[in-house]
Amino acid sequence: MWETDRKISIVMVDDDEDDCFIIKDALADSELQHSLTILGSGSELLDYLHGRGKFRETEPQCPDLILLDLYMPGLSGREVLRILRNEPRFSGLNVVVLTNSNEWPELSECYQLGATAVFNKGQWLQTFSEIIRISGPYWFKFVTLKLRNPYYDSNCAAGAFNRIDTEYAAPEENKL
């Protein structure tokens, strides 16, 4: 089993209990040390991130990964993604969009809105454990924990999330 300094925090936002069960089961079978929070709507995710509503008694949390269903009642995954990317504290979150669609314009729009990745539920849910087994060590141990992307600071509560250090900013002549 590969080691990290801490558990990886994963939030799944999906109104389909069967899909949530498949993800929970696959994660339990993986070697990924994680905590999984399952939320049923986009509004619930926003409350969780901001520490509002039923989450007001807990410290706001910024997960390492959000698994976001594209089609949900109320706020759609598309709307939630747009909100997250427009809010500086949350714009750097890793958001994987889950959809039943194979339509390229829809998948492309998710990437244009800032999705980290987009997976078709039918194909992806069946191989989730294998994806985590292969990419989990790379993504969570090397990329997010070792490099500590300068645009990503997981200290959400302190408001430092997605800070930009001046030494990493693009030179003025390269900006549009």
Among the ranges given (47-51, 69-73, 146-150), the one the predictor scored with the smallest mean pLDDT: 146-150
Residue-range domain boundaries for the chain: 8-174
Residue 175, φ and ψ in degrees, nearest 5: -80, 145
Contacts of 153 (CB under 8 A, 6+ apart): 160, 161, 162, 163
Cβ atoms 48, 56 nearer than 8 A = no
Residue 174 carries which side chain, given as an amino acid letter? N
Segment 16-66, tens digit of pLDDT: 998 888 888 878 777 778 899 999 999 999 999 999 999 999 888 789 899
Cβ atoms 25, 38 nearer than 8 A = no
Of 94, 120, 85, nearest to 106 by C-alpha is 120
Out of 1.20.58.220, 3.40.50.2300, 3.40.640.10, 3.30.499.10, select the CATH number for domain 8-174. 3.40.50.2300
